[in-house]
Amino acid sequence: MDNEKTFRRLMIWQKSMGLVIKIYELTKKFSKSEQYGLTSQINRSAVSIPSNIAEGFGRKGTNDYLRFLNISLSSLFELQTQLEIAFNLNFINENKFDRIYEDTREIERMLTS
């Protein structure tokens, strides 16, 4: 079982899953009035990243896998934009923004390498 080929063994998937947890913990503190707005969008973007990595891993052929990695990258860019909006609206302080943004940049570097 240890040698089983699975998306769970991919470092990019593991880091993306860790980011999802951080994002949910962060948005839990957002205003309740944002629950169906920015909070929902941020959470969906974050979840989309490891989900597409996993889906691409399950596809046959490198081209399909690369296409899903590209979709993950697009979701990551969407997340970065939404985090910037939340920061500009003072939903996130600078320290938290910087830490989570750096996490997104690390995943971005992994997706583009």
Residues 9-32 have pLDDT tens digits of 999 999 999 999 999 999 999 988
CA distance 102 to 32: 26
Residue type, 86: A
Q: Say whether pTM exceeds 0.75.
A: yes
List for the chain the helix, strand, coil content (%; round to 5). Answer: 80, 0, 20
Selecting from 1.10.12.10, 3.10.450.30, 1.20.1440.60, 1.20.1260.120, what CATH number does the domain 10-20+34-112 have?
A: 1.20.1440.60
> Predicted confidence band at 2 (pLDDT cuts at 50, 70, 90)?
low
User: Residue 90: is its pLDDT beyond 80?
Assistant: yes
CA distance 94 to 82: 14
Q: Rounded to a whole number, what is the distance in angstroms from the first to the last CA of the chain?
A: 28
- Residue ranges covered by each domain of the chain: 10-20+34-112
Q: Which residue has the higher pLDDT, 61 or 69?
A: 69
Lowest-pLDDT range of 38-42, 52-56, 57-61, 67-71: 57-61
Q: What is the pLDDT at residue 5?
A: 84
CA distance 29 to 97: 14
CA distance 14 to 88: 29
Q: What is the pLDDT at residue 28?
A: 95
Average pLDDT over residues 91-106: 97
